[in-house]
Each structure stands twice: as structure tokens, then as C-alpha cells.
Structure 1
Amino acid sequence: MIRIFRHYISRAYLSLLLIEFVVFFSAMYLGITAPVLTAASWYSDYGIIVSSTVFGCVVTLSCAAMGLYRRSLSLQDYNLLARTCVSFVLAVIILALIYYFIPEFLIGRSVLAVAIFFALVGIFITRELFYKFANLEKFKKRVLVIGSGTKANKLSGINNSFIHKSFKIVGFVSFPGEQVAVDDLLVNYYENNDIRAVAEALKADELVVALDDNRRFMPLNGLLDCKMSGLKVIDMVSFYEREQGIISLENTYPGWLIFSDGFAQGGLRAWEKRLFDLFASSLLLVVTWPVMLLATLAIFLESGVNGTIFYRQVRVGEDGRNFEVLKFRSMRNDAEKNGVQWAQAKDSRVTAVGGVIRKFRIDELPQIFNVFSGQMSFVGPRPERPEFVNGFEERIPYYRERHRVKPGITGWAQLCYPYGASEDDTIQKLQYDLYYVKNYSLFLDISIMFNTVEVVLWGKGAR
């Protein structure tokens, strides 16, 4: 992992992105210069380079938008063939728009077809080699866990859902009186303050402190010896932050939040974020106004003159201030005659049109106007209803901290976690929201915005 503007990026996937850009660039270059087409005579050397660069950038960004360079993409969600096909269809649409508005970049259809063929072959070969070599043991970080209890055991499974596993736990150090909850074959019992000797014997690259009770015993001298010897020592909260993109509520404590980096707000960041919000929302409005018009017409035809097109609902915004969020109405007018309740899978209150616009997040589009008014941001934690928030703040630690920033149309939690309709889901999503609040940057906002295309096209998390 490397950190770019405080956001953790997989070094392996970043390398894959750069390699595949070269593959796509080469695909267009070969498409133009392929002898069977004799197209090269129509292009200058400069034109070939420009066309190849445009093609490489567009296809790479389309693949990124479909989550193909996101390490948090789980085995359950991963479908290389489907995602690649959607990425290339999206790329062709974008290229058509570029060729229409900038005719100087226009290339022949036969050249484009050959380039796409080469690119498809190239991406499947590249992916096959990537997953074959990237998961080799010698390329994984070797982690020694300090502790052998419940918390240490949970670390064993956080890699399981990922396609590319960036680390391998090579052992656990168990201390006197500690209940062992991990694989006995990996346990090394603590004797004579020998943590460094264990780490060197196992060729560990990093030590993660995962003791169930830090107050009862903390091997400070042994850890200091390892640190001064060049080994990296990291606490569990930072480990989860790096590997899973969350702030682990189970392991977080006030002192860590106070002294950790991040959580910077105001000043230049506020102006930077506001400008980004206006730009991104304006761009979204320009692209989606026909869709919004069709949604308005469909809702009207389904509900008639007695039905409302838009739905206003009170939500909790920045610093706990309430505001009215604007959405296309996707439920019956009497949906809450029995009081406030979670939306459920196959909710009977959702109308036929509502089911479609929810699946593709079209019902969220009117929130663009909440962004223009300054009540919301384009990217941020999703705003929740005050009826739920009051209880969450009492029962869930640090829940109010998600309101340190403006809520957003899309967010890190929406990208990484499916739709939640329970308090447990709220806790899981809060961990992603806190990661966003802590590590906000323009780079992270742009990354989330790109990957939101995947959420929309895949209907991910809709309910």
C-alpha cells in the first residue's frame, strides 16, 4: 500500500493501472499501424501518438470507473468479463463524444474495432498474469501479530474477501494468561522478551499489536527493540485503516482520534471542496437532465395529477443541522402512514417506476440542487433521518463525528458497503464514513466520483 493525499492505494493495483494503460495505448498504436488496414499512411506520427494516448486514457478511466482497479472489490462482486464489457461500451460512448466535439481526434471505425480487439485480448492476458504473480507469497507483506486472542483472530480473516491479498500473517505472539483464539500452529509463546528474535526467525516485515487488553500487559521494551531495528510496528486501528479503508470502531479510542493525523476541516479545504461540488454537480446536471425529465414524466404518468413528483424529507446535515433533502418520489404517497421505517428489500411501498429509478439511483439526482444550495456536498456521508440519528448517537460511539462534514450524494461507504437497513449495517457504514472524514482530499473525492459509475451501472446497494 502507498498513501496518496492520505488515501491508501494498493501498490499492486496502481501498477496494474499503469501497465494496462500501456496495453491500451499499444492496442490503438497497433490498430493504426496494422499492415492489414494500411491506415498508418493516413496519420502523422504525432496523430498516432495523440490517438493512442486518448484511447489509452479513456479506456483506463472507464475500467477504473467500473472498479477494476479497486482492491476492495470482493470475490462475490468480481466478474471480469461483465465488468470489462461494460467498461469498453462506456469507453466507446465517451470516445464517440470526443470524436464528435473534437473532429481532429477522429479515427476510422475499422481502426477503432481493431484497437478494441487488441485491447480486450491485452486486458485478459494482463489480468491472468497479474492474479497469477501478484498473489505469490514472495510479493506479500509478512505480518507478525502481537497477541493471540479474539482481536488477533479477527485479523486472520480480513484478507479473505479480497482477490489480491496484500499480506500474510506468519505468526502470533502469545503472552502469559492470554486466551489463545488463533491457529495453534502459528502461535509463538512469549519468553524472555524475545519478540525481535521471533520476528527475525519468521522474516516478518511488520508487527501489528492486537492485544485484547493493552492495559494488562504491553511488551514495550520488545516492541521498541523491533522498532529501533528497522521493523515497522503498527496498531490495529491503523492496520484496519490501511488494509480495509475503515476506522475500526471496535479498536478505536479517543486518544487515537486526537493524536492521529487527518480530520482537518475548514480554510482552503472548504473552498476547494465547494468548487469541486459546484463543478461536479453542474457536470452531472448537464449529463443527466434528459434522464431527470424522463423520470418526471414517468412518475406523473404512473401517479396522475394526485401524485407528487418530488419528495422532501428532513435529514441531518453538517454540524447536526437539519435540512430538507430533495428526491424523486419512488414510494406511494402514504408510504409512512404507519410511521418512519427502514426501506427493505422488495419493499411493497415502492412503486413500479420507483423500483427502476431506485435501482439506478435516479431518485437521488434532484439532490444536485441541495448541493448547489450548500446543504450537501457531491461526496460525503449519506444524510440520515433525525428520527434515527438521535438513537444512533446514544448507542453508537463516535456516530456524531460523521456530521463534521456535509453529507453527500455519494460517498466512501456507498462505494464499499451495500445498502444497510439495520443498526448493525449503520455501524459498518460508520467505519467507512469516519475513514472519509479523517482522510478527505480532492483526490479521494475524484476517486469516489469515478467509482460511483460502477454503483449506478451495477445497481449496487439499491433498495
Structure 2
Amino acid sequence: MSSSKFRDLSAGSKSLILIEQVLFACALFLAVYVNNVFSVTSVQEMPNSFLLLYGVIFALINQLSSLALGLYNSKLRENFRGVFRRFLLSIAVAFFCSTIINPFYGPYVLPIEVLAIAAVFSMGLVSFFRYFTFKVNFFGLNKAKILVLGAGERAAIIERRMRRDVDRQDFSIHGFVLMDGDSEDGIKSETRIKLETSLVNYALDQEIDEIVVANDERRNNLPVDDLFACKIRGIEITEILDFFERETGQIAVNLIYPSWVIYSDGFASNNHLRNTLDWIFNAIMAVSLLILTWPIMLLAILCIKYTEGFKVPVFYKQERVGLDGDSFDIIKFRSMRLDAEKDGAKMACENDNRITKIGHYLRKYRIDELPQIYNVLRGDMGFVGPRPERPEFVNNLIANLPYYNERHNVKPGLTGWAQLKYPYGATEKDSLEKLKYDLYYIKHRGFLLDLLILIRTVEIVLFGKGR
């Protein structure tokens, strides 16, 4: 995570990361101390500087494992029991990785018993800390206090799409200021405010941290002087599109206007170094994945043959739309009946009766996608990007959904931001929701975001959240 991204995090999120980093490091220090006191195994005496370095490395390995299993997802909808299960698996993965790199410590290599003790202490310390934060809602104390300028149709997106506590855990809405020109069909149940004083005085009196500009009528209707005065007094001023993008990880397609796209950061595709190294990176990843997963693919082939007969095809090709709107054939394990499209092409839906018995498992754990390694090696796809759709659906979606064709400005991928953030869907409304996440990815695409998506995909596969 870059320093600028870290600065953009809420105080609560920063505290969680930093405190747990210290706890993981302390677990290793405590394990070494206990080992020395009780003489569990012999450990060569090492300088404190080396021990501190090992503690930092141990903490980073555990935190990367936690990240891969969704434990730093700010909107993780799990009770403490679910979080505890994830921590068990996370600590186990981190222990395995620690034992792999342990021999590289040279003369100060740590015995595996010490690493095992450190893993147990990590589980205890971090689980207790998370349980404490669950009970007292400690990190909610640093919420930003938001005042929304507007109470009409644009402002109502906050009320409709960010109404749950989990959607507002980094901020609280003080109220919505009524503005001339706002639609009457806007805010329904939230606090509506009719200002009796200037905006700057009200914001200072109420200790507002941020003002979100969301009024329907902008022309000659913005209190520019007041907003300027608020800005120079340290109050953040944010446009509703930027606020929604920041808090939800998606772009509100229905609110976009061309000047916002023109003047906003992102949407750049002229990163020549990235474009040059893109195929090399994807090829290395594809070969590595092939080496790791060929036994799984062989088992999938045997299961398909055993359950459906040895004469049925295992793979199938399907035309998809890729970069710049060019078509290519995608390759997947067949998870549907042979006559699945006898009545024409249609999107797969949840609990689709066309899916075979083994196909449910292939889809759940994303095994059906593995043959697309071939498409990655051919250059048709990358590892990360918007999922490619079929031409029959794309033409209709381009006609009905604004900015849908912008998805084709980047290479499609095996996994993507929309696949992580939105559940399975098969309607035009679902396509609109996924488009919001795809546009966010296109705007912010870069190595760090790609790495985050790849790591989070591990969670999707291990916990069977695929479709």
C-alpha cells in the first residue's frame, strides 16, 4: 500500500493495521523468550537488531495472509466466530510461509518449534484484540462527520446505497442541507437541514469534517464563497461522485457527466512500461498457476468423464468480447448440459438448472475458469480485468447502459474488481452494478490494485464464493 493510500485511510483502519503489526511481532518475541526460559529447543543467541528484523518479517507475512483471507476488508460481514475461523486459516498459512523462508536466516535460523509457539501466541493475541474491538466498537470513534450539501436526487444515492452501518463505518452523516432546485423525490428518512446561517458558520459550529457537494442544480446555485471559506479552514470539500467512489469502490454510472471524467485523475492507458511488461507478467503468472493446478484440472477432467460419460466433451469454447471490442474464443471446463443453449444464448443465473452436478463444484471454486490460462498465454486476456461478455449480450448492454463500452478499453481478465465486490448476477441491473466496479478498476488500475485483487481472489476460491 502506497504512503498516499495509507494517508487516505481512516484513523480506525490505520490503527487496526499498525496495532496488529505490533501484536504479531510481539508474538514472535514472546515465543523466543518462552523458548529460552523453558529451554524447549536450543536457539543461537542473536543480536537484538536481527530479532527485531525477524519480528517485522513475521508480522508482514501474517498480515499478508490475513489480507488474502479478507480480514482487513473494511466491510467484512462476519460475526466474530467467522472472523476467528479465518484467523485460524490465516495463521496456518503464515506459519507455512514462515517455515519456507526460515532457512534463509542463515546462522540465526529459528527452530520450527519457536515458529509454532509464535503462531499460537499470534492467534491468542490478535483474536483477543479483535474480540475487544467487536465488543466496544473502538474504531468507530474516529468516524468523519459528513454534511451533505443537497437533499435531492443526487444526494439520495447515499440514503439508498449506503444505508447500513457497515457502509458508514468510516463516517457518520450529520444531515442533508436543502438547496434550491433539489428534487422533492430525494431524501426521505434522513435528517434534512434548512440553513438559517451561512454554510461556513454552521459547519464550524457543528464541527463538520467534510462537506459532500450533491445538490441537483449546480448552475449559479453553489455557495462558492462559503465552500472556499470552509476549505481554507480545513474542512474537506468532496464531490458526490468522488465520495461515492471512495467509500464504495465503484463509480456511480448514472451520475457521471463528461467533465468529471475529463478532469478527474485516472482512466490513463498510456503507461508504456506497464503495457510492455503486461504480457510477461501474465505469462509468468499463467505458467506458475498451471504448475500449481494441473492436478486439480486432471481431477476435474476425470470427474466430468465419470459423471457424464467418457464420450462427452470436457472443454467448450465460447465467443467473448475483448480488448477494443475484438472477439476471441474463451476456453472453460464444461459445467452445463450439452443442450444448455438449445433455445438460444442466455446468461447463467443462480441455481441454474442447466448446470451439471459436477458443474456446481467447478463454478463454486472457480475450477471451470482454469483452462483460460491458455487465453492468458495467447494474450487474449490478462489475470486481472473486467470479465469478458458474449457478443449477444454486449450489443444490448452497450445500447442500454451508459459507458458500458468503456470496459473494452482494457484487456479482460480471469478475475476482477467486480467479481470480488458484487455477488453473482444475471440481469441487466446486475450488469449495471458490475459496470460501476469495472469503471472503478479502469480508473485506478495499477500494480497495487491488481495485486490486491489477486490476493483477495484467494479468499473467493478457498471459501467457495465463486459461481
Counterpart check, 1:295 vs 2:281: no
* 2:313 aligned counterpart, secondary structure: coil
Q: Say if 1:379 and 1:407, in contact at 8 Å, map to a contact too.
A: yes
- 1:197 pairs, out of 194, 197, 201, with 201
Cα deviation 1:157-191 (Å, max 9, x = unaligned): 61625277111111221124643854788433145
TM-score by length of 2: 0.89
Q: Say if 1:159 and 1:165, in contact at 8 Å, map to a contact too.
A: no
Determine the C-alpha separation between the residues in 1 that align with 2:343 and 2:104: 53
The letter of the residue matching 1:240 is: F
* 1:330 aligned counterpart, secondary structure: coil
Point out where structure 2 has 5 or more consecutive residues left out of the alignment: none
- 1:117 pairs, out of 117, 120, 130, with 120
User: Corresponding residue for 1:222?
Assistant: 226
User: Corresponding residue for 1:62?
Assistant: 65
Q: Say if 2:10 and 2:143, in contact at 8 Å, map to a contact too.
A: no
User: Corresponding residue for 1:263?
Assistant: 267
Q: How many residues align?
A: 460
Determine the C-alpha separation between the residues in 1 that align with 2:80 and 2:374: 32
User: Corresponding residue for 1:85?
Assistant: 88
Q: Say if 1:7 and 1:439, in contact at 8 Å, map to a contact too.
A: no
Matches within 5 A, 1:94-173: 94-98=97-101, 107-108=110-111, 110-131=113-134, 132=136, 134-137=138-141, 139-156=142-159, 158=162, 160=164, 162=166, 165-173=169-177
Cα deviation 1:192-220 (Å, max 9, x = unaligned): 6x111111111111110111333483333
Determine the C-alpha separation between the residues in 2 that align with 1:329 and 1:105: 51
The letter of the residue matching 1:25 is: A
Cα deviation 1:74-107 (Å, max 9, x = unaligned): 4589931222122223334434554689998875
User: Corresponding residue for 1:45?
Assistant: 46
* 2:24 aligned counterpart, secondary structure: helix
Matches within 5 A, 1:414-429: 414-429=419-434
Change (3 A) 1:248 1:23: same
The letter of the residue matching 2:21 is: F
Counterpart check, 1:408 vs 2:409: no
* Residue 45 of structure 1, CA deviation: 1.7
* Residue 337 of structure 1, CA deviation: 1.3
Cα deviation 1:393-430 (Å, max 9, x = unaligned): 00000000111100010111111111111111111111
The letter of the residue matching 2:265 is: D
Determine the C-alpha separation between the residues in 2 that align with 1:420 and 1:37: 57
User: Corresponding residue for 2:373?
Assistant: 368
The letter of the residue matching 2:402 is: P
Cα deviation 1:90-143 (Å, max 9, x = unaligned): 334434554689998875454333222211111122223445354444x11111
The letter of the residue matching 2:322 is: G
Q: What is the RMSD of the two structures over their aligned residues, measured on CA atoms? A: 3.0
* Residue 59 of structure 1, CA deviation: 1.9
Determine the C-alpha separation between the residues in 1 that align with 2:319 and 2:91: 40
Change (3 A) 1:398 1:13: same
Q: Say if 1:237 and 1:248, in contact at 8 Å, map to a contact too.
A: yes
Determine the C-alpha separation between the residues in 1 that align with 2:212 and 2:104: 53
* Residue 252 of structure 1, CA deviation: 1.0
Determine the C-alpha separation between the residues in 2 that align with 1:121 and 1:327: 43
Q: Say if 2:350 and 2:424, in contact at 8 Å, map to a contact too.
A: no
Q: Say if 1:330 and 1:355, in contact at 8 Å, map to a contact too.
A: yes
Counterpart check, 1:443 vs 2:444: no
- 1:309 pairs, out of 306, 314, 338, with 314
Counterpart check, 1:282 vs 2:283: no
Change (3 A) 1:447 1:303: same
Moved more, 146-155 or 425-434: 146-155
* Residue 53 of structure 1, CA deviation: 4.4
User: Corresponding residue for 2:74?
Assistant: 71
The letter of the residue matching 2:43 is: W
Determine the C-alpha separation between the residues in 2 that align with 1:344 and 1:439: 29
Change (3 A) 1:49 1:206: closer
Determine the C-alpha separation between the residues in 2 that align with 1:388 and 1:191: 52
Q: Say if 1:51 and 1:105, in contact at 8 Å, map to a contact too.
A: no
Determine the C-alpha separation between the residues in 1 that align with 2:281 and 2:233: 44
Moved more, 226-235 or 373-382: 226-235
* 1:421 aligned counterpart, secondary structure: coil
The letter of the residue matching 2:441 is: Y
Q: Say if 2:319 and 2:327, in contact at 8 Å, map to a contact too.
A: yes
* 2:302 aligned counterpart, secondary structure: helix
* Residue 278 of structure 1, CA deviation: 2.4
The letter of the residue matching 2:12 is: A
Determine the C-alpha separation between the residues in 2 that align with 1:356 and 1:413: 21
Change (3 A) 1:248 1:105: farther
Cα deviation 1:221-271 (Å, max 9, x = unaligned): 332332344322111110011111111112111111111111111322212
Point out where structure 1 has 5 or more consecutive residues left out of the alignment: none
Moved more, 272-281 or 157-166: 157-166
* 1:208 aligned counterpart, secondary structure: strand
* 1:247 aligned counterpart, secondary structure: coil
* 2:237 aligned counterpart, secondary structure: strand
Determine the C-alpha separation between the residues in 2 that align with 1:402 and 1:386: 13
User: Corresponding residue for 1:357?
Assistant: 362
Moved more, 374-383 or 93-102: 93-102
- 1:332 pairs, out of 325, 337, 340, with 337
Change (3 A) 1:77 1:152: farther
